[in-house]
Structure 1
């Protein structure tokens, strides 16, 4: 039954529930799910936490991932995913939507919407996907100030600092930045766009005792590793940020081509959820039953007089 109508809504704040998952020895696996229906399907598959990608949210709005969406845009997505699934969500906070005060506003807005965790990155606007070239880095002290602002504003939100420094400044600089962000109050570190197994291992070796996030995106600079391989390399979390969107976009592309080619959807039925399957996913009958239990039907007696 969907959390939004269940009796067992989580009592603990989302950030506390996220921390509890990280206290377990196994790696925390978070597939991307930035829509309510995706969150329900991921939960149905057995995942206990979800990730919301800025790139996925931007693309859904028909926009590139260049830091163009707003705090309110993201909060809209957080609310639907949190309500639909009840799972703790890690949210992409991009560069914080401005400077320190903007970061504090973001943190409060995300917490109110239901987020469990956020990651901030040390790029300058217009920011880029971490796996693209020519990223412009912020001064490490400015990024540390944003991390400190997030820490000051949060009630329970888990704060992850992302550094994109490896590509342009090297491993030593990335490690130094990461340590500065930890000193400023980050709970964990996200080293973006590492390109070899040895690089992942080295970063983990140089950050002993620190919770680390790995990004397993497709068509980027990182080779394919499984969740278990990341765990063996010393990582506590792994995300597949845009995988769901890539699969869905390809499916929609094929659907529209089929309608245009065949004049209808008759050859695509085997690619679709049935009505019954969709209703089961979204809890249609549970909602229907709840409505009838709350609103008693009044049966008219006789006929009105003219």
Structure 2
């Protein structure tokens, strides 16, 4: 995990993606959950927009957060870990000109890859009903702007066309995204294993593919081995940490409400010293001694 004074060099996300895949990216919604992902041994963290919205606002992922709020969250998460952070960039928060600033801001925050989607603004979570998408020329302009604006940041281009125009349209959009310079292709929310297989088959060789293993979402929960067989390069598990935290908090609060104290819940929780170690208290003590 990142030290206050001397964080380790981050592995290259490009190199990780070039390795034997797929690369597994658990979702995180704040700096603490990002540290937990890294502590669990994963090589990359995914900043979920769904979780960021829930964590910052306690509201659903329907386009309520601004670019500045998302960048601030990304910056804190990047500072907390020594592994690459992939960040949800929603629609880019405007037109192609806005996308330029969004990409530059994410890259200045230290993000290794940004995910941009072809929904209209305000967007919705990819596994919610009622989505709308922008025209293909508009999205291609955004992708070209993102590619021109970045230095080393990877651009993940996501289409939500499956729910709006069907699988064929989504595949054709993904091909066009690759031609526009996107580094990874992301067809959101196919609803059957057959559709997932068709996406993988028709986009084989076009560009590295992203699989969104959205916990409880519209896409069937394939095994990691099956995802590997289909040739996906990156697998996102976006909200499992958020759901687990929600369940844990509910449980402690229920115990507190019923029993008046959380004593009976404590055996299932990290010990106080274990938690302070996790968030770097020993490092703080060392620095206090150095500068005393």
TM normalised by structure 1 equals 0.91
Deviation of 1:34 (Å): 2.3
- Corresponding residue for residue 72 of structure 2: 76
Structure whose CA Rg is larger = 1
Deviation of 1:9 (Å): 2.5
Instruction: Encode CA deviations 1:24-54: one digit per residue, 9 max, x unaligned.
Output: 1221000001222212211111100010111
Question: Residue 30 of structure 1 aligns to a residue in which SS?
Answer: strand
- Corresponding residue for residue 49 of structure 1: 44
- Corresponding residue for residue 304 of structure 1: none
Q: Is the 8 A contact 1:117 1:157 kept in 2?
A: yes
Residue 268 of structure 2 corresponds to residue 254 of structure 1: no
Question: Residue 168 of structure 2 aligns to a residue in which SS?
Answer: helix
Deviation of 1:283 (Å): 2.0
- Corresponding residue for residue 173 of structure 1: 169
Moved more, 226-235 or 238-247: 226-235
Deviation of 1:170 (Å): 1.7
Q: Is the 8 A contact 1:201 1:234 kept in 2?
A: no
- Residues in 1 aligned to 2:234 and 2:145: alpha-carbon distance in whole angstroms: 24
Instruction: Encode CA deviations 1:125-175: one digit per residue, 9 max, x unaligned.
Output: 221111122211110110111111111110111001101111221222111
- Corresponding residue for residue 4 of structure 1: 3
Instruction: Encode CA deviations 1:69-117: one digit per residue, 9 max, x unaligned.
Output: 0122112211221111121111111111111111111111111111000
Question: Residue 31 of structure 1 aligns to a residue in which SS?
Answer: strand
Q: Is the 8 A contact 1:217 1:241 kept in 2?
A: yes
May I ask how many residue pairs the two structures share in their alignment?
A: 290
Q: Is the 8 A contact 2:30 2:55 kept in 1?
A: no
Question: Residue 268 of structure 1 aligns to a residue in which SS?
Answer: helix
Q: Is the 8 A contact 2:7 2:82 kept in 1?
A: no
Describe how 1:290-301 pairs up with structure 2 within 5 A. 290-293=287-290, 295-296=291-292
Segments of 4+ moved more than 6 angstroms:
none
- Corresponding residue for residue 236 of structure 1: 233
Q: Is the 8 A contact 1:32 1:53 kept in 2?
A: yes
Aligned Cα RMSD in Å?
Answer: 1.4
Deviation of 1:6 (Å): 5.6
Unaligned runs of 5+ in 2: none
- Residues in 1 aligned to 2:113 and 2:3: alpha-carbon distance in whole angstroms: 20
Q: Is the 8 A contact 1:27 1:228 kept in 2?
A: no
- Residues in 2 aligned to 1:45 and 1:249: alpha-carbon distance in whole angstroms: 19
Describe how 1:155-304 pairs up with structure 2 within 5 A. 155-209=151-205, 210-293=207-290, 295-296=291-292
Question: Residue 3 of structure 2 aligns to a residue in which SS?
Answer: helix
Unaligned runs of 5+ in 1: 297-306
- Residues in 2 aligned to 1:7 and 1:66: alpha-carbon distance in whole angstroms: 38
- Residues in 2 aligned to 1:7 and 1:77: alpha-carbon distance in whole angstroms: 21
Deviation of 1:227 (Å): 2.1
- Residues in 2 aligned to 1:129 and 1:36: alpha-carbon distance in whole angstroms: 22
